[in-house]
Amino acid sequence: MKTMRFITLLAAALVMGPFDAPVQAGSKDTRIETLLMAAMAMGSLDKPLQTENMDRRIESSARQSYVFKTYLQDDDIVIESKEGNVTLTGSVAANFHKSLAQETVAGLPGVKNVDNRLEVKGAAPLANSDAWLRDKVKMTLLFHRSVRAGTTEVDVKDGIVTLRGDAASQAQRELTTEYAKDVEGVKGVSNQMTVTEPAKKARTVGEKIDDASITAQVKITLLSHHSTSALNTKVETNRGAVTLYGKANNAAELSLATKLASDVHGVKSVTNRMAIK
């Protein structure tokens, strides 16, 4: 960029000639016009560089986001931004990975549009099938910090969900059951999880989660829960502080949306500005 500025200024100086040359009649106005033209030229030369830098920042921010590094790290996703219009190509392991990638990229500064061309590996499970319900339950648990999604085994047969694994407390065990029950299509939940004493760990600094990842997680969470899936909710995040906009049918839905959003990884606070219909 500095090189381009230097070239432009040098070209302008050559056109204008030395500043200590005798001033001819009308030459002052000519020099002013030439300076203005040079300034405009510098601006027009800088714009493509600024746009290119912005596109590179978008691509880098997406790859370095919490969502891409945590949930999508094993997927083959190519991110290409051109003037803020992002195209996603490649393949992902599950259908909700496709939605999660799109929501994350859409929340990045400078992104105007996302063209999602990601393909799901293998055949996608049929809606409301046992495999579909299993994936939905896993996704529902995934973003909540109050449950142990990573160590919770989920099986589904004839619409009945069976949960196995360890829970840190009875409250966590019950919450896992309630989250699983709230998935549309689930007929019942058999929770066979064992409550175990959590191992003591050294205190560590919590991982910083970017706003785009938080926004994407909250959006997918509200969509995955049956009780909030029909809500038309807009989500904004600023340094971990989430604000919800939209409409709820009643006070209970509004309160539930707040609670679900509050339990998402990285969320520091939730302000619910949704209106009741």
* pLDDT in 10s for each residue of the chain, 277 residues: 443 443 343 344 434 444 444 445 555 566 666 666 666 666 655 667 788 899 999 999 999 999 999 999 999 999 999 999 999 999 999 888 999 999 999 999 999 999 999 999 987 788 789 999 999 899 889 999 999 998 899 999 999 999 999 999 999 999 999 999 998 889 999 999 999 876 554 443 456 899 999 999 999 999 888 889 888 899 999 999 999 999 998 899 999 999 999 999 999 999 999 999 8
Place of tokens 């065990």: 173
CA distance 145 to 175: 11
Question: Alpha-carbon distance 235 to 104, whole Å?
Answer: 12
Per the CB < 8 A criterion, the answer to whether 124 and 98 are in contact is no
Q: How far apart are CA 201 and CA 251, in angstroms?
A: 39
Alpha-carbon gap, residue 275 to 277, rounded angstroms: 6
Report the distance separating Cα 143 and Cα 51, nearest Å: 34
- Beta strands of 159-199 (E only): which ranges? 160-164, 166-167, 188-191, 194-195
* 186 within 8 A of 134, measured Cβ to Cβ: no
Give residue 167's pLDDT. Answer: 93
pLDDT of residue 203: 41
Point out which residues pair with 271 in neighbouring strands: 243
Q: Residue 184: its pLDDT value, please? A: 85
Element (H, E) at 130: helix 130-142
Q: Report DSSP state, residue 149.
A: G
CA angle 213, 203, 65 (to 5 degrees): 15
Cβ proximity of 79 and 63 under 8 Å? yes
Beta pairing, strands 160-164 & 113-116 = unpaired
Closest CA to 88 of 121, 111, 116, 65: 116
Q: What is the C-alpha separation between 169 and 138, in angstroms, rounded?
A: 20
**pLDDT score for 230:** 80
pLDDT reported for residue 11:
43
Q: Hey, is 124 helix, strand or coil?
A: coil
Q: Map out the domains of the chain with their CATH numbers.
A: 1-7+29-124 (3.30.70), 130-195 (3.30.1340.30), 211-276 (3.30.1340.30)
pTM: 0.76
> Which element (helix H / strand E) includes 82?
strand 76-82
d(CA 240, CA 229): 22
Cβ atoms within 10 Å, residue 270 = 20
CA distance 113 to 84: 7
Letter for the amino acid at 85? Answer: N
Ranges of beta strands (E only) in the chain are 76-82, 85-92, 113-116, 119-120, 153-157, 160-164, 166-167, 188-191, 194-195, 233-238, 241-248, 269-272, 275-276
pLDDT given at position 20: 45
User: For residues 173 and 228, what is the distance between their CA atoms, to the nearest angstrom?
Assistant: 22
